[in-house]
Structure 1
Amino acid sequence: MDIAKKRNVGGNTCVPFLCSMLGSAFWFKYATLIGYNPTMIIVNTMAIVMNSGYLWIYYLFCGRKPLVHRYLMAILALIATTYWYVDYVLEDREDARCKLGLIACCISVLFTASPLVLIGHVIETRSTEALPLLLIASTFLVSVLWLLYGMVLGDTFVTESPTGSFIALQVQNGISVVFGLVQLALFAIYPRRRGSPASPETIRDGEDARRDLTSTTRLQQSGRKVLDSVLRERVAVVDPLQLGRTGRK
């Protein structure tokens, strides 16, 4: 990861890792409700472990650890509350499956569409340099694979309904494929090129660095002025004394 190489999180945020962990935890629970589906359990277990590793690396090099603590506690509390609600409040297993599947779909779709928050920057700069190509491509591929797997499984939350009509928010992978195609199309319309504008996070980091440098320079200049003033006062005091001693001699 770039964070581990640079030993600095830069403008990155831990929110995508937390959302991915949250979605994986919900899909893991969903897999237990449909008869302990081994494929979904293994895949989502690996996703939880990998995101935990990403979060640990982020935590090691971030400067706002209390904020990460609050985010993580909120995510864990949400997972625990949802598990409790599904296991002890909802008596109908099919009702529990539908509600949990709907929640997991919403989170997964939001995670897939999250890079589109930079679409305004992409259009303005006519460059996709700020978009994470590897993440978008891998998410698109995974969504396609899960969509195909859902067709084989015949599950409404993994693919379309048995009647053939898409159900809003239940066809998460179908929506994710569409979002992936839109994001990949941006790379064809606004290809990356050398010398393309930096991402908003990089620009903000540069502006912060320039402000810090300006403040440091002004502080140094003020220090020099104070030092010069003190030296002038010393000279003004010492010179008459030396003149008096010279006159007595």
Structure 2
Amino acid sequence: MEIIDLHHPLILVFGILGNIVSTGVYFAPMPTIIQICKQRSPMGFQTLPYVVSLFSALLWMYYAFIKEGDTFLLITVNALGTFVEFIYVIIFIVFAIPSVKKQTIKILSATMVLCLVISLGSFFFLEGVNRALVVGWICVGVSVCVFAAPLTIVFQVVKTKSVDFMPLPLSCFLTLSAMTWFAYGMFTADLCVTVPNVLGFVLGIIQMALYKYYKQRSKVPSIPEIKHQEHIINIKTSNSEVYPVDSSWSSGIEAEEEKNTAKDGGSGRGEVLTDNKCGPRVMEVVNVKPVLIVYAA
């Protein structure tokens, strides 16, 4: 059997990178959490991904403690993850409505009990390598659930055609984390670390692709509704119809007006409308009835 040098530079490099990127994963939802605190409401976000992440961090930390070799980097990153995810879940419980709060507490309690059963069961009934192997493959299954948990958000994105419930930083950090820990697992020949991160990388790419697709669709501008301003002119005169007359005929119209005035004897049956704002535009009114003229600007 080949002896693996856990102090190999590449193992150290990928382990440190895995810690850095995983820290980014844990803090990626921070803008969402801050918004929840400001709004004092979960705003439709689900607590399940955070509960599953908490469960995964607890199990991985236990696995790192019972596994032989230098597992300090696994311990540190999962200890941080346990603390951060626990804070997130508490915040969700504080601001959730009573029904959601009760459901979240039940899920959290069941998760803690399950973690305790796995830890105590493996500690008392298994020994040495077998204990680490069993706990490691349980961690693999939980890690798959961690990477699959955001699929609930993916389904919501597809259903609503909106990326409001899919934080892009979280998807990016999950993908980078899967890549770095995959490399770390390969160099340490730890299948329990390698296997789940393959799926994590694939799911991370899917999430980012969906985000880009629906984000571009949401940027397509819709055709704005054109609101027409209405102008109402109420012309109160006697029976007639209204005919527009070109301004070039103004001189002839003035002469005709004088004739009509002379014939009508100044009875006021004819009127001339002018528009001083738009130039010398004249309209001849003959036997005008009350008319309502509406036009759009």
Paired residue for 2:215?
191
Paired residue for 2:193?
158
Larger radius of gyration: 2
**Map of 1:116-195 to 2, 5 A cutoff?**
116-123=151-158, 127-159=162-194, 171-192=195-216, 193-194=218-219
Ranges of 4+ aligned residues in structure 1 off by more than 6 Å = none
Deviations 1:68-120 (A, max 9, x none): 332222111111100011100123x2222222111111111122122333545
Deviations 1:154-208 (A, max 9, x none): 211112xxxxxxxxxxx00111111111222223433343489xxxxxxxxxxxx
Q: Distance in 1 between matches of 2:63 and 2:157?
A: 36
Instruction: After TM superposition, give the deviation of residue 145 of structure 1 in Å.
Output: 1.5
Matched positions, count: 184
Instruction: After TM superposition, give the deviation of residue 45 of structure 1 in Å.
Output: 0.3
Partner secondary structure for residue 191 of structure 1: helix
CA distance 1:55–1:141, change in 2 (3 Å): same
- Alignment partner of 1:45 is 2:113: no
Contact 2:52/2:149, CA 8 A, preserved across alignment: no
Q: Distance in 2 between matches of 1:74 and 1:47?
A: 19
Q: Distance in 2 between matches of 1:123 and 1:66?
A: 28
1:191 counterpart letter in structure 2: K
Paired residue for 2:119?
83
Paired residue for 1:104?
139
User: Percent identity of the aligned residues?
Assistant: 27
Q: Distance in 2 between matches of 1:114 and 1:84?
A: 26
Higher helix share: 1
CA distance 1:17–1:153, change in 2 (3 Å): same
Contact 1:128/1:191, CA 8 A, preserved across alignment: yes
CA distance 1:80–1:98, change in 2 (3 Å): same
CA distance 1:120–1:21, change in 2 (3 Å): closer
Q: TM-score, normalised by structure 2?
A: 0.57
CA distance 1:13–1:151, change in 2 (3 Å): same
1:86 counterpart letter in structure 2: S
1:10 counterpart letter in structure 2: M
Instruction: After TM superposition, give the deviation of residue 121 of structure 1 in Å.
Output: 5.0
Higher strand share: 2
Partner secondary structure for residue 13 of structure 1: coil
CA distance 1:54–1:122, change in 2 (3 Å): closer
CA distance 1:124–1:86, change in 2 (3 Å): closer
Instruction: After TM superposition, give the deviation of residue 66 of structure 1 in Å.
Output: 3.0
Residue segments in structure 2 that go unaligned for 5+ positions in a row: 1-32, 222-297
1:26 counterpart letter in structure 2: L
CA distance 1:26–1:121, change in 2 (3 Å): closer
2:208 counterpart letter in structure 1: L
1:81 counterpart letter in structure 2: V
CA distance 1:75–1:148, change in 2 (3 Å): same
Instruction: After TM superposition, give the deviation of residue 52 of structure 1 in Å.
Output: 1.3
Q: Distance in 2 between matches of 1:179 and 1:188?
A: 14
CA distance 1:138–1:67, change in 2 (3 Å): same
Instruction: After TM superposition, give the deviation of residue 33 of structure 1 in Å.
Output: 2.0
Paired residue for 2:92?
58
Q: Distance in 2 between matches of 1:13 and 1:125?
A: 15
Contact 2:178/2:201, CA 8 A, preserved across alignment: yes
Instruction: After TM superposition, give the deviation of residue 131 of structure 1 in Å.
Output: 2.4
Instruction: After TM superposition, give the deviation of residue 126 of structure 1 in Å.
Output: 5.1
CA distance 1:73–1:116, change in 2 (3 Å): closer
CA distance 1:48–1:118, change in 2 (3 Å): closer
What CA RMSD, in Å, does the superposition of the two structures yield over aligned residues? 2.2
Partner secondary structure for residue 215 of structure 2: coil
